[in-house]
Copies of this chain bind each other. A is one copy, B any other.
């Protein structure tokens, strides 16, 4: 790994998302995983980046790791899709997934990740915004995707790395990996700056 300071830390990713784990692995960091017991409920008045910042903080605060040392750093993240003035969550069923994808079709929306970094003595938060523009999706395409990929674990009902991202996303503005759930370059820059 590049940089002695970065590789000397005990990183703990608070996540059960295989995508976030994969992205952090791609950065070449050694890390371990932890779960958070936080109930992910967010006050209704929060908007845009306030939501994933709030939720990533809940995850970090709800994670108890017994053997944390002064070298340990928790990394917690939450990603939302912000479209038409509201956050799209995970769809409960095919009908809701279809409704979300029809909302996103032919338009630009924002994907916002909030990240909380937390050590024994310090905490820091940041967020990252990417704009995603979908081409017009027809009903056959939407139904095919929902049937084949079952995007019920994904905010906004899509994964940009899946079929619908390949055939349907005209372009993005910002960090691609942020759309997948972790703004890796931004995180790397923050980890380089981090000093307790």
CB contacts (< 8 Å) of A166 on chain B: these are 23, 26-27, 177, 184-185, 188
Interface residues on A, range: 20 to 34
CB distance from A99 to the nearest CB of B (A): 19
Bound complex: CA of A169 vs CA of B135, how far in Å? 24
Q: Which residues of B contact A189 (CB under 8 A)?
A: 135
What is the oligomeric copy number? 2
Task: Let me know if B170 and A175 touch, CB within 8 A.
Answer: yes
CA A27 to CA B140, docked complex, whole Å: 15
Query: A152: CB under 8 A from chain B?
Result: no
When C-beta atoms are compared, the residue in chain B nearest to A6 turns out to be B167
Q: Is the pair A184, B171 in contact by a Cβ cutoff of 8 Å?
A: no
Q: Cα distance A172–B169 when bound, in Å?
A: 13
A-B complex: 9 closest residue pairs judged by Cβ atoms? A166-B184, A167-B188, A176-B176, A171-B174, A26-B166, A2-B144, A173-B173, A171-B175, A2-B141
Nearest-CB residue, chain B, relative to A29: B167
